[in-house]
Structure 1
Amino acid sequence: MAEQMYQLISIILYMAAMLFIGWYAFRRTSNLTDYMLGGRSLGPAVTALSAGASDMSGWLLMGLPGAIYLSGLGEAWIAIGLTIGAYLNWLFVAPRLRVYTQVSNNSITIPSFLENRLKDTSHLLRVASGIIILVFFTFYVSSGMVAGGKFFQSSFGLEYHTGLLIVSAVVIAYTLFGGFLAVSYTDFVQGLIMFLALILVPSVGIFITGGFSETVASIRLADPTLFNFVSGVSVVGIISSLAWGLGYFGQPHIIVRFMAISSVKETKSARRIGIGWMLLSLLGAIATAFVGVAYFQQNATELADAETVFIVLGQIIFHPLIAGIMLAAVLAAIMSTISSQLIVTSSALVEDLYKAVFKTTATDRQYVFLGRVAVLVVAIVAMILAWPNKESILKLVSFAWAGFGGAFGPIILLTLYWKKVTVKGALFGMIAGAITVGIWGSVKVLSSSLYEIVPGFIICLVVTYVVSLITYKENPEITREYYETLEMLEREKY
C-alpha cells in the first residue's frame, strides 16, 4: 500500500505539471494560428521531442519491449523501418513543408495546404482530407483512452472506467485551453520523461543482472535465438515491418510540427535532436526487454504479461517514488499521442470542414472558441467508443497509420517536389489509397501476408501521378509559389 501511495504521488505531480503547462499555453494563445499551430514559434528541441512523443505512444514503452522480450530482434524491423522513415521525413518533408505552407496563403493545416497549394476552388480536396482525418483520428484518440484506462487498472487496481475518465479529463483540460502550444510543450516534457526512463531502467538493470557479460550469457541461456534478426521472420514480413516507415509522410499529427517550427533553418537542428532521441529511446526499449529476459531467467520466474516488462523492472529496481516516475513515462507516452491527435482533429473540424463548407467569417476569438468546442466534442465521442473496452479499437491503430500513410503520404511528397500535381490527381489518388488500405486491411489473407500500407502507398502514388499528367494545365500562381518556395529555401541556405 505504501509503495502504491508513493507511485500515486508521482502520477499526481506529473498530471499537475501537465495542467500547469496547459494554463501557461492558454495565456499565450490569442488567435486561431496560435491555437492550431502555436503561432509558428516552436524551437527545434520542442519541435523534435513533441513530434517524437506524439508519434511513439505506448508502443515504445510497452509494445516494443514486450515483442522483443518474447521473440527477440526479429521484432526490431519495425523500429528500423520507423527510424529510417522518420529521418527521411525530417530530411525531405520538414524544410519544404515549413516554407511552402507559409508561401501558400499561410496554411495552418494539411488539408488547407493541399487546397491552397493546388488552388482548389471547389473545396472538395479540403473537405475530403478533413473527413479522413476526422474519422481516423476519432478512433485513434479512442484507442489511446482505452490504453489510459487499462494503465490505471493494471498499475493501481482502479476500475477501468475510472482510469479512462481520469486520463481523458486531464488531456482534454490542457488541450482544450492551451491548444497546440500546450500539446507541444507537454509533449516535450513527456518526451524527456520517456527518454530518461528508457535510459535509466536498462542501465541500472544491467548492474542488477551482473554486468554486460553476465546479462548476455543469461539471455543466451534463456533463448539463444533472441539475438537473431531473421529468426522466425520471412522476407515479406521484413518488408511489411520496414514499410511502417512509409507512414510518416502522411501522419498529420507529426508533420504539422514541421509547419510550426520558428524557421526553416531550425529544421536541421530539430532533425538531429529528433533522430537522436528516437535512436536512443528505441535502443533503450530493446535493452529493457533483454535485461528483463536476463533478470527473470536468473530468478527462475516468469513474467505474466510481456508488455509490462518495463513497468515491472522499474518497480523492482527503483524506490517506489522513482518507480512512479517510470509509470508516469508510460502515461506520458499515451497522453502525448491523444493530445496531438485531438488538436489535429479539432483543426480538421474548424479549419477544414466548418470554414470550407459554411464559408462564414468570424473573429479569431470565435474560431478559437469553436476549436475548443471541437476538442470537447471529439473527445466525448472517443470516450463513448472507448467505454465498452473492446480490443478491436486498439487494432485500429496500425490500420489508421496505414490509412494516413496510404492516403496522404504520396500526395504530400508530390505536392512538395512536383509542380504538376493537380486537384483531380490528388483527390483520386487520396481516395484510391484510402480504399486500397481499407480493402486490403479487411481481407485477412491479404493483410496477413503484406502490411496494407504498401499497396495503399503505391496505388495512391501511381494514380496521383497518372491523373495529374492527364489533367495538368499551367497555372501561373502555382508555378510562382513553387519557385518562390525554392528561392526561400535557397536564401535560408538550408
Structure 2
Amino acid sequence: MDQSTWYVIAIVIYLGVMLAIGYWSYRRTTEYDDYVLGGRDLHPFVAALSAGASDMSGWLLMGLPGALFLTGMSELWIAIGLLLGAWANWKWVAPRLRSYSEVAGNSITVPSFFENRLRDKSRTLRILAALIIIFFFTFYVSSGMVAGGRYFESTFEGDYMTGLIIVSVVTVIYTFIGGFLAVSYTDVVQGLMMFAALLIVPIMALIALDNPAEIFSFASENPYGTAGIENPEYFNMVAGVSATVIIGNLAWFFGYFGQPHIIVRFMAMRKPSDAKAGRFYGISWMFLSITGAVFVAIVGTVFFSQNDYAITDQDSYETIFLDMAQVLFHPLIAGLVLTAVLAAIMSTMSSQLLIVSSSLIEDLWKMITKKNLPEKTLINLSRGAVLVIALLAAVLAINPSDSILGLVGFAWAGFGSAFGPLVLLSLYWKRLNATGAIAGMVTGAVVSMAWGMIPATSDIIYEMVPGFFSHLIVTIVVSLMTKAPSAEVQEEFDRAAKLASIAAQDEDVDFEEAAEKL
C-alpha cells in the first residue's frame, strides 16, 4: 500500500473512535442540562484534559512550533504566559466559579452566570455576553477549520477545501449528537494523543540526527534554521525583542480568565475541591506538551537541513510537526501520530461550537421566546445552532487572510478583554454591579477589537493589554459611581464565598447539601 492509504486507515480508525464516543454520549444525554453541561458530573481528570485539549488546539502542534522555528525563542513568551495563566485559572477561578454558579441560580452558561450573579433584570448583560461569544467564537472555529485544511495539504498533498470539509463535518457530527459529554470525553482521548505525539516525535527526530548536540547551536549559525534568515540570537529570549512585545506575549496570561470554552469546564465539575486535582493534571499535561512543541521546533532546525527535506508551509512554517512525523515513521505509525493534529483541531472546534450553540439557545432564544420548551426541543435547537455556526465559520475559512496563530490571537484577546476582568470581579468583588459590568464588557471588547485591527497599534503591543485593563478600570469606576448592588446580591456573594471555603477545607463534604444549608 502507498503512504496515503496507510494515512487514511489511521485517520478512519481515529474518526471512528470519535463518532463512537459521540454515539455513547448521545445515549447518556436525555436532558437539556446534560447536553449543555454534562449534568455537572465531570471527574477532575476529564475536566483538566478537556480544558487543556480544547484550549491548545492546532496552535500547540502547528502554530507554536512554526513560530519558534521561524523567529526563535523570543516567541516562547506566549507559552510562558499561557502556562502561568492556566495555573492561575485553576487556582483562583475554578473552585470559586463552581461554588458561585451553584448558588447563583444554577447557572449553566457564562452569560447566564453574569446575569444571575448581578441580578440584571434588563437582560442587557446576558445579551451582550452571548453576542460577544457568537462573534469571537466564529473566528475561533474558523481557525480550526483553517488548521484542518492545512493538515490535509501537508499530510496528503491534497486539497485544502477537502480537508476543511472532512474535519468540520466529523466534528459537527459528534458535537451535534453527543453534546457536552461527547465533547469532554473526546477531548480526553485527543489530549492524550497530543501529549504522546509531542513527546515521541522530537525524541525520535533527535535520535535520527547525526550530531544531536547541534540542536542548541545550529539555528543561530545557519540561515535555514530560521527560514533562510540568519539569526544569531535565535536562542536568546530577549535580544532584539522590545519590552512591549514581551509584555504583550506574556499578556496571553490574562486571556484565560475569560475563555468560555475553558471556564465552562469549571462549572461542570462535581465539586469545587476537584479543582486541586484538576490543576495538577491540567498543568502537568500542559507543561510537558509545550516542552514537546518547543523541541519540535529546535530539533527541526537541524533535522530539515540535515535531511534536505522540504517543509510544506513555506510562509508560516506551521507544518513542521506534520512533515517531521511523515519522514520519521512507517506510514501507519505516522498516520496515527498525525491524527494528534486532528485531535487538537477537533477538540477545540467541538468545545467552541457547543458554547456558541448554548449561548444562542440558552441566552438568546429562550429569553426572546419566553417559552418553557420541552427538553427534547431545546436539545434539537442547540444542535441546529451547531450547524449554523459551523457554516458561518466555514465561509470565513475558505480564503483565510491570517495564520492560525493570528486568528487564535484575535479571538483569545477578544474573550480575555471582554470577559476576563468581569469573571474575576464577579468572584472576588462584592461591590460590582450590573451597570459597571456592562460598561466594562463593552469597553474591553471594543478596545481589543479596534486595537487589533489597526496595524499601527497592534504592532506596538498585543491588544489583550489595553483591552483587559481598560475593561478592569471602567468596571471599577462605573460600579463605584453608581448604585451599590442590593442586599440580596451581596448576601449571595457571601454565601458563595463561604461555600467555596467549606469545600476547600473538607474535600469530602456533600457539596450540594452544603449549598442548600447556606
* Contact in 2 for aligned 1:420/1:472 (Cα 8 Å): no
Which residue of 2 is the match for residue 234 of structure 1?
242
Which residue of 2 is the match for residue 458 of structure 1?
469
Q: Aligned-pair distance for 1:418?
A: 0.5
Q: Give the whole-Å Cα distance in 2 for the aligned partners of 1:417 and 1:453.
A: 21
Q: Aligned-pair distance for 1:296?
A: 2.7
The correspondence for 1:410, drawn from 411, 421, 425, is: 421
Which residue of 1 is the match for residue 482 of structure 2?
471
CA distance 1:286–1:423, shift in 2 (3 Å): same
Which residue of 2 is the match for residue 319 of structure 1?
330
The question of 1:377 aligning with 2:413 is answered: no
CA distance 1:162–1:263, shift in 2 (3 Å): same
Which residue of 2 is the match for residue 362 of structure 1?
373
The correspondence for 2:362, drawn from 341, 351, 369, is: 351
Q: Give the whole-Å Cα distance in 1 for the aligned partners of 2:33 and 2:283.
A: 27
State the AA in 1 paired with 2:498: E
* Contact in 1 for aligned 2:49/2:187 (Cα 8 Å): yes
Q: Give the whole-Å Cα distance in 2 for the aligned partners of 1:9 and 1:117.
A: 50
Which residue of 2 is the match for residue 247 of structure 1?
255
Please give the secondary structure, in 2, of the residue aligned with 1:391: coil
Q: Aligned-pair distance for 1:8?
A: 1.2
The question of 1:391 aligning with 2:401 is answered: yes
Please give the secondary structure, in 2, of the residue aligned with 1:421: coil
Q: Aligned-pair distance for 1:231?
A: 2.8
Aligned length: 493
Q: Give the whole-Å Cα distance in 2 for the aligned partners of 1:442 and 1:380.
A: 24
State the AA in 1 paired with 2:401: E
CA distance 1:213–1:392, shift in 2 (3 Å): closer
Q: Give the whole-Å Cα distance in 2 for the aligned partners of 1:329 and 1:221.
A: 32
Which residue of 1 is the match for residue 228 of structure 2?
none
State the AA in 2 paired with 1:254: I
The question of 1:23 aligning with 2:34 is answered: no
* Contact in 1 for aligned 2:151/2:319 (Cα 8 Å): no
Q: Give the whole-Å Cα distance in 1 for the aligned partners of 2:5 and 2:75.
A: 36
1:186-212 CA deviation, whole Å, 9 max, x = no partner?
Answer: 111111000000000112222111475
Which residue of 1 is the match for residue 227 of structure 2?
none
Q: Which has the higher mean CA deviation after the structures are superposed, 409-418 or 136-145? A: 136-145
State the AA in 2 paired with 1:205: A
State the AA in 2 paired with 1:198: L
* Contact in 2 for aligned 1:209/1:215 (Cα 8 Å): no
Which residue of 1 is the match for residue 276 of structure 2?
268
The question of 1:181 aligning with 2:181 is answered: yes
1:304-346 CA deviation, whole Å, 9 max, x = no partner?
Answer: 5332221121112211111101210111111111111100000
State the AA in 1 paired with 2:325: G
Q: Give the whole-Å Cα distance in 2 for the aligned partners of 1:308 and 1:491.
A: 48
State the AA in 2 paired with 1:124: T
Q: Aligned-pair distance for 1:71?
A: 2.2
Please give the secondary structure, in 2, of the residue aligned with 1:178: helix
1:165-197 CA deviation, whole Å, 9 max, x = no partner?
Answer: 211110111000100110111111111000000
Q: Which has the higher mean CA deviation after the structures are superposed, 426-435 or 223-232? A: 223-232
The correspondence for 1:256, drawn from 264, 288, 299, is: 264
The question of 1:435 aligning with 2:443 is answered: no
Q: Aligned-pair distance for 1:143?
A: 2.5
State the AA in 1 paired with 2:476: Y
Q: Aligned-pair distance for 1:157?
A: 3.0
Task: State how 1:151-300 maps to structure 2 within 5 Å.
Answer: 151-210=151-210, 212-216=212-216, 218-219=218-219, 221-222=221-222, 224-299=232-307
State the AA in 1 paired with 2:150: K
1:54-82 CA deviation, whole Å, 9 max, x = no partner?
Answer: 11111111111112112221110110111
Which residue of 2 is the match for residue 334 of structure 1?
345
Q: Give the whole-Å Cα distance in 2 for the aligned partners of 1:287 and 1:397.
A: 22
Q: Give the whole-Å Cα distance in 2 for the aligned partners of 1:331 and 1:474.
A: 47
Q: Give the whole-Å Cα distance in 1 for the aligned partners of 2:330 and 2:296.
A: 18
The question of 1:9 aligning with 2:9 is answered: yes
Task: State how 1:85-96 maps to structure 2 within 5 Å.
Answer: 85-96=85-96
The correspondence for 1:491, drawn from 496, 502, 507, is: 502
* Contact in 2 for aligned 1:197/1:329 (Cα 8 Å): yes
TM-score of the aligned structures, taking structure 2 as reference length: 0.92
State the AA in 2 paired with 1:390: P
Which residue of 1 is the match for residue 114 of structure 2?
114
Please give the secondary structure, in 1, of the residue aligned with 2:462: coil
Q: Give the whole-Å Cα distance in 2 for the aligned partners of 1:357 and 1:489.
A: 34
CA distance 1:392–1:209, shift in 2 (3 Å): closer
Please give the secondary structure, in 2, of the residue aligned with 1:61: helix
The question of 1:38 aligning with 2:38 is answered: yes
Q: Which has the higher mean CA deviation after the structures are superposed, 113-122 or 390-399? A: 390-399
Which residue of 1 is the match for residue 516 of structure 2?
none
Q: Which has the higher mean CA deviation after the structures are superposed, 105-114 or 351-360? A: 351-360
* Contact in 1 for aligned 2:154/2:312 (Cα 8 Å): no
TM-score of the aligned structures, taking structure 1 as reference length: 0.96
Q: Which has the higher mean CA deviation after the structures are superposed, 299-308 or 243-252? A: 299-308
* Contact in 2 for aligned 1:83/1:245 (Cα 8 Å): yes
The question of 1:446 aligning with 2:454 is answered: no
Which residue of 1 is the match for residue 62 of structure 2?
62
Q: Give the whole-Å Cα distance in 2 for the aligned partners of 1:88 and 1:310.
A: 29
The question of 1:48 aligning with 2:48 is answered: yes
CA distance 1:153–1:204, shift in 2 (3 Å): closer
Q: CA RMSD in A?
A: 1.7
Q: Give the whole-Å Cα distance in 1 for the aligned partners of 2:49 and 2:500.
A: 24
Unaligned runs of 5+ in 2: 223-230, 506-518
Q: Give the whole-Å Cα distance in 1 for the aligned partners of 2:298 and 2:375.
A: 52
Q: Give the whole-Å Cα distance in 2 for the aligned partners of 1:287 and 1:423.
A: 47
State the AA in 1 paired with 2:278: A
Which residue of 1 is the match for residue 99 of structure 2?
99
* Contact in 1 for aligned 2:433/2:479 (Cα 8 Å): yes
State the AA in 2 paired with 1:154: S
* Contact in 1 for aligned 2:155/2:323 (Cα 8 Å): no
State the AA in 1 paired with 2:257: F
